[in-house]
Amino acid sequence: MKTTAIAPSNIAFIKYWGKKDEELRLPANGSISVNLSNLLTTTTVEFNKSLKTDDITINGKRDAKKANRVMKHLERIRAVARIPTKARVVSQNNFPTAGGLASSASGFAALTIAGTKAAGLSLKEKELSILARQGSGSACRSVPDGFVEWLDGDTDKTSFAISLYPPSYWDIAIVVVLAGNEEKSVLTSEGMRFVKSNPFYPVRLSNMGRKIKELKQYMKKRDFERFGMLVESEALELHAMALTSAPPIIYWQPLTMRVMKLVQGIRSRYFPVYFTIDSGPHVCIVCEKKNQNLLIQKLRQQNIQDIIINKPSLGTRLTSNHLF
């Protein structure tokens, strides 16, 4: 059976940075995110007995390195479904895959949902999140709807993501400013390895429980200003970790810094607005929906044109619009 899934990317408000088990992708700490409505991966999977090997096309290309990771994930799906059959996979992003836009999150979430269904399985959301996590950690957060928490867990079966609130819970806008188009210089998995010897890292981890609790309280009260301040300082902490790792990693480009300064300037003069940044140069700006147009106007005034506007989104879902 041919099956297609659409998965959103997600941006973390509390970041996943470091693994306690690399193979299983158990994170060193829990994390919190929101799914993004306009950063999507569509993936079609079909298991076909006439295939001798998996046939994988991503964004119109057959790339051996990317295909390898996809094939590993297909192996996981085949193991659960107890089938030997090879698959054809076609996957398409609606956004550029370069530098830090989390294509692995939406990519592995879409592959998990389309792949398991195509293999004849009908797994529950929790099981799908566990499986997606093994492909790419952040992918487990793209499975449930809206605002999501990844419970770190100590074992394969206890590390998965759950929905905290549906997309409609909070009228916020997430505007992504593209600040570079190179492929990532340091892979996320490498960055997470380097941080292990960082002397500041244990301090970060020891504060995590409190930080997650605090953020969830602000979300519960829809206290946008306290929420935003914590989100922004958490993003800066992630980059402080990267900057002080050995070897050091600088994910920012000059435009990244310009946008950070601009956001802080707009905040001090006009309305509450905050930024967060993953392991790449792009900046995600978060504001209340009512201020979205004004924010875009301010960005355009500064000649910042390359933006993707998002609202909170559903998680991964099936569609009948197949790619082949």
Task: Pick between residue 110 and residue 266 the one whose CB is nearest to ligand DP6.
Answer: 110
Radius of gyration from C-alpha coordinates of the chain: 19
What is d(CA 291, CA 282) in angstroms, rounded to the nearest whole number? 21
Q: Which of residues 172-231 bind ligand DP6 (CB under 6 A)?
A: 188-189
Q: From the list 29, 35, 42, 104, which residue makes contact with ligand DP6 (rule: CB under 6 A)?
A: 104
31 lines the binding site for ligand DP6 (CB under 6 A): yes
276 lines the binding site for ligand DP6 (CB under 6 A): no
Q: From the list 56, 67, 101, 102, which residue makes contact with ligand DP6 (rule: CB under 6 A)?
A: 102
Structural contact between residues 147 and 170, judged by C-beta atoms closer than 8 angstroms:
yes
What is d(CA 43, CA 132) in angstroms, rounded to the nearest whole number? 14
279 lines the binding site for ligand DP6 (CB under 6 A): yes
Nearest residue to 12 via CA among 311, 272, 277, 216: 277
Interface with ligand DP6: number of residues (CB under 6 A):
16
CA dihedral of 29, 33, 38, 40, whole degrees rounded to 10 = 40
Task: State which amino acid sits at residue 142.
Answer: S
Nearest residue to 296 via CA among 263, 254, 257, 250: 263
Task: Pick between residue 135 and residue 167 the one whose CB is nearest to ligand DP6.
Answer: 135
Query: Which residues, in sequence order, are bridge partners of residue 19?
Result: 27
Residue 191 Cα distances to 15, 188, 195, angstroms: 13, 5, 6
Q: From the list 3, 91, 136, 256, which residue makes contact with ligand DP6 (rule: CB under 6 A)?
A: 136
What is d(CA 97, CA 99) in angstroms, rounded to the nearest whole number? 7
25 lines the binding site for ligand DP6 (CB under 6 A): yes
Q: Which stretch binds ligand DP6 (CB under 6 A): 97-105, 170-178, 268-276, 309-317?
A: 97-105
Query: Which residues, in sequence order, are bridge partners of residue 57?
Result: 90
Q: Which stretch binds ligand DP6 (CB under 6 A): 14-22, 119-127, 219-227, 281-289?
A: 14-22
138 lines the binding site for ligand DP6 (CB under 6 A): yes
CA 35 to chain centre: 8
30 lines the binding site for ligand DP6 (CB under 6 A): no
85 lines the binding site for ligand DP6 (CB under 6 A): no
Nearest residue to 9 via CA among 256, 288, 316, 309: 316
152 lines the binding site for ligand DP6 (CB under 6 A): no
CB of 131 to ligand DP6, least distance (A): 13
What is d(CA 182, CA 196) in angstroms, rounded to the nearest whole number? 26
97 lines the binding site for ligand DP6 (CB under 6 A): no
Task: Pick between residue 281 and residue 291 the one whose CB is nearest to ligand DP6.
Answer: 281
Task: Pick between residue 175 and residue 266 the one whose CB is nearest to ligand DP6.
Answer: 175
Task: Pick between residue 51 and residue 187 the one whose CB is nearest to ligand DP6.
Answer: 187
Chain contacts with ligand DP6 (rule: CB under 6 A): 12, 15-17, 25, 31, 102, 104-105, 136-138, 188-189, 278-279
